Structure 1
Amino acid sequence: MTRHPTDHPQFYLTAPAPCPYLEGKQERKVFTHLVGHGAPALNEVLTQGGFRRSQNIAYRPACENCQSCISIRVRAHDFKWTKSLKRVWKDGANIVGARLPASPSAEQYDLFRDYLLTRHEDGGMTEMSILDYAMMVEDTHVETLVLEYRRRGPDSFITGIGDGSLLGVALSDQLSDGLSMVYSFYDPAFKDTPLGTYMILDHIVRAQKMRLPYVYLGYWVDGSQKMAYKSRFKPQEHLGPNGWVVPVE
């Protein structure tokens, strides 16, 4: 029997490029394609091995003389609610996250553009067209979901869907052992509660209800202020030479 070529993934190494997190550093990545019937299983194994997904590509850092990027995941069932995180969750009680298929919309793209131009105007993603955005959302061969966050409406307790303008979007993968947050963005003008923090908390609560042990948050970069917020969600495990371990405080 002839086996599908994706049963034997090929890995590639990118050329050096300026690191977006640590000034003066160069980054390289090892990557492979997530396509075909074997993509979901491969995505599971690679995510558990520290890879991240972008469209149909799985990648992880492969930098010379630098191991600052550390894969982290939150232990959902043991999650510790600090006073500040409880306050964020309480302030977001009027927000509803609706789970939808991985399908893009013009409203999502408009919010995506506003977010990038306000928070990441120097990043490469600001050049993405609506077609590029659509590919980011729907070009997936794994179990991917979109969560749309809006204000709670009069029928939300029945429909599970919020009302009014779009406040935030999270693109996430569902794995057998957790939820992997691929990319999220939100209304930068919304001041009622920190939406970025709220969406992570919402994923942790969803994982608890789904009896999934982990929420994968991607990379925490030691020394990068951009990634400092991820350290708030504990307990978490870091992937190192001996596998996933709880870091020593």
Structure 2
Amino acid sequence: MSIEIRDSPQFYLTAPSPCPYLKGRQERKVFTHLIGERAARLNDVLSHGGFRRSQTIAYRPACENCKACVSVRVPVADFVRSKSFRRTWTDNQDVVSDMRSATPTSEQYSTFRAYLDLRHADGGMADMTVLDYAMMVEDTHVNTRLVEYRLTGKNLPLNRQGEGPLIGVSLTDILADGLSMVYSFYEPEMAERSVGTYMILDHIERTKTMGLPYLYLGYWVEGSRKMAYKGRFLPQERLGPNGWDRVEK
């Protein structure tokens, strides 16, 4: 019995803090640790229940008077690109993506830093150093990868490995039933290419190729401009009181 107690996850509740998505509201989270041999299996189960991972922590909102944060996943076999998605896909045909080990690089951090400085200068991650970034990538007990996105073509500067300019990165977990985009960032100068959208479209294709049914996108937050984009990837499933509900439009 003592072994069962020790191996069972323990859940904790954070104190109230300002909500990063909806002005004037407070947020609380329930969380547990993802460590040891059972971390990957626990991450699978909790992801299916609406949790997200940050390093060795799995968390989900537990706000008393607000249910705005809704877990979203895309059933990739049914996804059909809209006209705007087809245009984004075409506009980025000179981009190659590569899934590799979760190993941080200075090149990635440079893009990460530029992204934070322009898009999230007042956010909770604004002061992250290169060591903080390395911890974000490496501190994992689950099956985690980095997907890099680079430009190809003539007359482009190449790095020491002969690769073109890095324009985007996604920290991605491989789950039993899909891929989960833990955190993504891109070169702000490439915003007109809709690189963030392209990375999701690419992950949908990767999920299909790997024979997995779902791409987990995290939380869609009604009323939040930061999270509104997630509602565009249809059809999708949103986690409600009775399980995952399909949304067509």
User: For 1:17 and 1:209, how far apart are their aligned partners in 2?
Assistant: 40
Deviations for 1:42-68, whole angstroms, at most 9, x for unmatched residues? 000000000000000000000011000
Deviations for 1:181-231, whole angstroms, at most 9, x for unmatched residues? 000000000156110000000000001111111000000001111111111
User: For 1:111 and 1:58, how far apart are their aligned partners in 2?
Assistant: 26
User: For 1:81 and 1:66, how far apart are their aligned partners in 2?
Assistant: 32
Asked if the contact 1:17–1:27 (Cα under 8 Å) also holds between the matched residues in 2, the reply is: yes
Asked if the contact 2:234–2:247 (Cα under 8 Å) also holds between the matched residues in 1, the reply is: no
Q: Give the length in aligned residue pairs.
A: 243
Partner of 1:149: 149
Matched AA of 1:114? A
Partner of 1:157: none
Partner of 1:78: 78
User: For 1:23 and 1:241, how far apart are their aligned partners in 2?
Assistant: 25
Shift of 1:176: 1.2
Partner of 1:219: 219
Shift of 1:247: 3.0
Partner of 1:60: 60
Describe the SS at the equivalent of 2:43.
Answer: helix
Shift of 1:165: 1.7
Asked if the contact 1:168–1:184 (Cα under 8 Å) also holds between the matched residues in 2, the reply is: yes
User: For 1:240 and 1:248, how far apart are their aligned partners in 2?
Assistant: 15
User: For 1:168 and 1:123, how far apart are their aligned partners in 2?
Assistant: 20
User: For 1:95 and 1:119, how far apart are their aligned partners in 2?
Assistant: 22
User: For 1:173 and 1:214, how far apart are their aligned partners in 2?
Assistant: 12
Matched AA of 1:220? W
Asked if the contact 1:6–1:39 (Cα under 8 Å) also holds between the matched residues in 2, the reply is: no
Describe the SS at the equivalent of 2:81.
Answer: coil
User: For 1:232 and 1:65, how far apart are their aligned partners in 2?
Assistant: 26
Partner of 1:197: 197
User: For 2:239 and 2:35, how far apart are their aligned partners in 1?
Assistant: 25
Partner of 2:235: 235
User: For 2:45 and 2:65, how far apart are their aligned partners in 1?
Assistant: 26
Matched AA of 2:39? A
Describe the SS at the equivalent of 2:227.
Answer: helix
Describe the SS at the equivalent of 1:127.
Answer: coil
Partner of 2:158: none
Q: Over aligned residue pairs, what C-alpha RMSD do you find?
A: 1.8
User: For 1:25 and 1:44, how far apart are their aligned partners in 2?
Assistant: 30
| 4+ long deviations beyond 6 Å | none
Partner of 1:93: 93
Q: After alignment, is 221-230 or 5-14 more displaced?
A: 5-14
Within-5 A mapping of 1:101-140 = 101-140=101-140
User: When the two structures are superposed, what TM-score results if normalisation uses the length of structure 2?
Assistant: 0.93
Deviations for 1:222-249, whole angstroms, at most 9, x for unmatched residues? 1111111111111100001110111364
User: For 1:162 and 1:81, how far apart are their aligned partners in 2?
Assistant: 32
| Runs of 5+ consecutive residues of structure 1 not aligned to the other structure | 155-160
> CA 1:2 to 1:101, structure 2 compared with 1: closer, same or farther past 3 Å?
farther
Shift of 1:2: 7.1
User: When the two structures are superposed, what TM-score results if normalisation uses the length of structure 1?
Assistant: 0.93
Shift of 1:124: 1.5
Matched AA of 2:83? K
